[in-house]
Structure 1
Amino acid sequence: MQRSTRVSMSMVAARAGVSGQTVSRVANDSPKVDPETRARVEQAMAELGYRPNRAARALRTGRSQTLGLVAQTLATVGNSRMLQAVAESAASRGYALTVLTLGPDADIAEAFDRLRDQGVDGAIVLNEATALARDAASAGLRLVVVDSPPDDRFAVIGTDHAAGARAATEHLLAAGHRTVHHLAGPAGPFAAAERERGWREALAAAGLETPRVARGDWSAASGFDLARRMPTERVTAIFAANDQMALGALRALAEIGRRVPDDVAVVGFDDIADAAQFTPPLTTVRQDFDALGDQAVSRLVSWIEGEHPADLLLAPRLITRASA
């Protein structure tokens, strides 16, 4: 049986018409290569199927070329989409990814110690684990946290959830509704609190009293239960903290004979892949998970390479469909 030939740096150098040192610099992301030469070397690598030796690179650079991702759970749509985006962005930059899920009773300090023991160059922390990250003994580990208040111990990237919630609430008020009821997310996550804050601010700016919050757990089942218990004869507009809760509310309203949007208008948040297929198609606030994942990785890699990144807040966008 014939063995496949391992592609070497010298083979790439010959294909690209450059020196072996130039190939090494490209493989190690050195800035000392002009863009035209870099493109030629990268094309030769792709054509030959060259894969840099990660272990050898780690010895040369003192870096493992591995990032960590920390999440309380990957069961939520937002976290699973973030994982996909982070994994793709990390791979495109030549980094491997180690994923750590905490569960409800995790020892956060021990979890970050495990990441350090595995030699990751830095880690991305997703929304529900944000508060835990602030309490972690994370000295020596570069962190980019998704959805968090500013903190000197790590870089922050996120969606402007409050702005998205204000836009959703203002859209419903502009349609003539006297107030807007809120199916809120759980009390802990930063994103849920910011969406609730934006809803409250929009009502206050319109001079309206704030209805009592109905708090769920991000699931469609909780949206269904909460909407069933609302005083439906007085509710004409609902802003749900995410699309799953909005989906549950749509089912509840259908079961009690309330038409959407004629009797009750409903707006969600996230714009999940199936939101346009709800009955009726869901008006919602879109956050760009692909951009969030890519920017989180970009900032972490920049930090690993010596440049402390600035915090970044991405603007969401209201997507108007038939439910409101």
Structure 2
Amino acid sequence: MLNRSAARRHHDPEDVITATIRDVAAAAGVSPATVSRAFGRPEKVDESTRRRIVEAAERLGYQPNRAAQSLTTGRTGNIGIMVPDLANPFFTSVLKGAQHQANRLGHPVLLADTEEDPSAELRFSRALAQQVDGLVLCGSLMSDDEVLQISRLRPLVLVNRQVPKLPAITVDNAGGARQAVTHLRALGHRRIGYVAGPPGSYSNAERYQAVSEHAEGAGLECVPVGHFEPSFEGGRGAADQVLLAGVSAVVVYNDVMALGLVNQLVAYGVAVPAEISVVGFDDIPIAAMFTPALTTVRIPREQAGGAAVAHLHALLTGGRPVPPPDLTTELVVRGTTARSR
């Protein structure tokens, strides 16, 4: 028979003995009760001690018994994250940042994709609230009243959405829009279009308002070009209306739509950017791989996801809320913008 320490050094998985709470306590130099509090009631343990315990647990492969903790503390340790569309690389990047931060803080993550449906988001939020300690809502399409309903069930943090009196991680959409308009004006464009996303989207409304205000302030004409699904096919579907609008450049709600628009314009034989310039929003990875590469407004997506989870953790543990990071936007000029004819 192998003793415990020998078993841990052995490389055969069948011989490895699962680490216990006492093993973690010994490795971290604390009592088993402190280890239990670190995972069940982290607000009762100072940050340096908790970090030492988490590192010891990771080294030993220790997994706390979440079911037992839930019975004794009324908490699961889980957090829920809601996104409108997992197929959109923007939300995949936000999730990556959120998951990384959740792992660091010891929170298992439950995920729901609402498929751009506000009623589904409300149903999923209510269901998730029964299984988690808190929620992160990314780009929520629910009404303010519906979001407030969910906030009464569980603490929550919003990403790229604002509701009065609720914590939110927001990006500088207005600054990005200003950079896009300034860039197009410098290229000689005087009549620009805005290709809108869903009518109920907070970020869409914010981006359109910013583009139109900055265009007016710069002496440009801004033409609204309908509302379309925030997808590649939605962007392709916007091509006819863009051409009918008689604009020399467009700013598009997001990159996925912008890429679809460019794809359809090229299929029509329209030269991009020689005949029409296109600017997206988000700077998803494929934007740089596309031909022509997309000019777009870069948003710090992973940083936003991580900041939301850090803020939620502070709410759940009674800690001091983490100051929101400076999520500035940046115009990345590539191949879909050029001087106006």
TM class by shorter-chain length? Answer: 0.7 to 0.9
**Pairwise CA distance, 1:52:** 2.3
Matches within 5 A, 1:99-138: 99-102=111-114, 104=117, 106=119, 110-118=123-131, 120-131=132-143, 133-134=146-147, 136=149, 138=151
SS of residue matched to 1:258: coil
Aligned to 1:141: 154
Aligned to 1:176: 188
**2:281 aligns with one of 269, 286, 292:** 269
SS of residue matched to 2:251: strand
- Indicate conservation of the 8 Å contact 1:287/1:315, yes or no: yes
Structure 1 residue identity aligned to 2:69: R
**2:327 aligns with one of 304, 310, 314:** 314
Question: Matches of 2:175 and 2:148 in 1, distance apart?
Answer: 27
The worse-fitting range, judged by mean Cα deviation, of 193-202 and 98-107 is 98-107
Gaps spanning 5+ residues in structure 1: where? none
Question: Matches of 1:107 and 1:232 in 2, distance apart?
Answer: 35
SS of residue matched to 1:47: helix
SS of residue matched to 2:269: coil
Structure 2 residue identity aligned to 1:278: F
Matches within 5 A, 1:134-213: 134=147, 136=149, 138-152=151-165, 154-213=166-225
Change (3 A) 1:57 1:113: same
SS of residue matched to 2:110: strand
- Tell me, yes or no, if structure 1 residue 246 matches structure 2 residue 251: no
Question: Matches of 2:212 and 2:195 in 1, distance apart?
Answer: 12
- Indicate conservation of the 8 Å contact 1:183/1:241, yes or no: yes
Question: Matches of 1:169 and 1:264 in 2, distance apart?
Answer: 15
Question: Matches of 2:336 and 2:120 in 1, distance apart?
Answer: 42
Change (3 A) 1:25 1:175: same
Question: Matches of 2:224 and 2:282 in 1, distance apart?
Answer: 23
Structure 2 residue identity aligned to 1:177: H
**Aligned residue-pair number:** 321
Normalization by structure 1: what TM-score? 0.85
Aligned to 1:236: 248
**1:93 aligns with one of 105, 118, 123:** 105
**Pairwise CA distance, 1:284:** 0.5
Structure 2 residue identity aligned to 1:66: N
Normalization by structure 2: what TM-score? 0.82
Structure 1 residue identity aligned to 2:104: S
Question: Matches of 2:80 and 2:313 in 1, distance apart?
Answer: 12
Question: Matches of 1:106 and 1:222 in 2, distance apart?
Answer: 21
The alignment's C-alpha RMSD in Å is 3.0
Percent of aligned pairs sharing the same letter: 34
Change (3 A) 1:209 1:143: same
The worse-fitting range, judged by mean Cα deviation, of 14-23 and 289-298 is 14-23
